[in-house]
Amino acid sequence: MSTNNNKLLVDIGSTYFKVSTADSIEQHFRDFNKRILDDLMHKCGDIVQSYEPENVHICSSANGGLSTLIIGLTHSYSLKYATNIAYNSGINVIDSIVFQDIEEYSIPSDLIDVVIIVGGIDSNGGVFDERLTSYLDKLNYSNVVYVGNKNDAQEIAKTVERLEILPNIIDDRLHIVETHLKDYLTNLYQQDIEGKEDIKDLYEVTGNQIYSTPFVVNKSLPLIHTSFSVTDPFILLDIGGATTDVHYSKDLVSDNIVTEQGHDRIVFKKLGVYKSRQSLIFTAENNEYAYELLMHLKVTENIYNEHSEKATKILMQLAIFLVLCKMSHYRPAYVTLKLLAMNSIVFTGGITKVLNTEDIEDVVAFFYRKILNSDHKPVTVLDSDYDIWTLGATEHAACQ
């Protein structure tokens, strides 16, 4: 492994950006009136200019990532497998549709970056019909990929333009096959980051490829023990300005999926404390325990309307509670984690600059008591110096 003493690592988030050298780490609140490059050079120009472009490594989550809509045959196989692969490739799933009921689903108005169509083992066929095309006709999307049974591929290709056909993600034993779709989505994400005008500018200061932040963080998880006292099984929460990213140990779920990595990822879109502030508050208002939590934190619902440091702090505590709820049996989302078996809970991202360990433990304990009726207390680990990101970025930079 080469030394990283002469490397500069930069992470662009939706709210903050971070700049890390061998001896220091700086973070800055973004100025949304400026282009990213201008903002970066304005605040850290001296540091950036002191590095050769080939020694500058940048990752970004500023664009909020790619979004996908999945159309599949069943929950237990096609939709579950495609969702798992999408999340682990850093893609946010905005909706998944059971094909037989496709006419009952509303059409999302937002532009979908990629539509995934999946269903049936290879010896099956004739499972899709014209309802697929008529739905897609109404949908606004940039890419469409087919990873279902072999027999239907050509038929669908006739009616769906620019259809990318990849091998089936369901094999003949009904097991998952990750590789092809995962590579495709990872590349798509890559191209997207490079394509964003704002991000494109950054190639003026780096000679290296710009990667997505969740990709870099996921790389660091097997190495997390070298920097922190973290005990498996654990979850890692990255509560950001726009979205919340959760990486969790696979033994926290009872899924019949044999995948490559030891940790899976899930994203809660629109659960953040800046850009997604309104939807966070909306979620809180619909949670019967949120009121009690506010009482416990000695504030009232008026806090939702305040824009103070205190309000940010409370919102972050709320975000932790709501994310834990979404991963428990109380508000089941895509996965339900065995939270009583969890030994550590790791926090990274902007939240570590606002909350201290006690603030977090207070909320976590409240969650366990109220929702799970337990005194369980996972050990809280705060990654306040972005070591996890540095670990992943360093590891990645070393491999390049």
Write out the residues near another protein by the rule CB under 8 A. Answer: 73-78, 100-101, 119-121, 123-125, 127, 170, 173-175, 225, 229, 231-233, 249-251, 254-258, 262, 340-341, 343-344, 374-377, 379
Residue type, 291: Y
**How long a stretch of residues is the chain?**
400
- Whether the Cβ atoms of residue 181 and residue 85 lie closer than 8 Å to each other: yes
How is residue 123 annotated by DSSP?
T
Residues in CB range of 186: below 8 A, 6 or more apart: 89, 90, 215
| Cα 222 from Cα 239, distance rounded (Å) | 21
Q: Smallest distance, Å, CB 58 to another protein? A: 30
Q: Which residue, 81 or 386, has its beta carbon nearer to another protein?
A: 81
Q: Smallest distance, Å, CB 252 to another protein? A: 10
Q: Smallest distance, Å, CB 167 to another protein? A: 16
Q: Smallest distance, Å, CB 386 to another protein? A: 21
Q: Which residue, 31 or 255, has its beta carbon nearer to another protein?
A: 255
| Cα 29 from Cα 9, distance rounded (Å) | 17
Q: Smallest distance, Å, CB 342 to another protein? A: 11
| Cα 368 from Cα 391, distance rounded (Å) | 31
Mapped onto helix, strand or coil, the DSSP state of residue 246 is: strand
Q: Which residue, 26 or 129, has its beta carbon nearer to another protein?
A: 129
Q: Which residue, 152 or 238, has its beta carbon nearer to another protein?
A: 152
Element holding 237 (H helix, E strand): strand 234-239
Give the side-chain half-sphere CA count within 13 A for 93.
22
Q: Smallest distance, Å, CB 340 to another protein? A: 7
Radius of gyration of the chain (CA): 22
Q: Smallest distance, Å, CB 148 to another protein? A: 10
- Whether the Cβ atoms of residue 93 and residue 65 lie closer than 8 Å to each other: no
- Dihedral angle over CA of 185, 189, 190, 196, nearest 10: 150
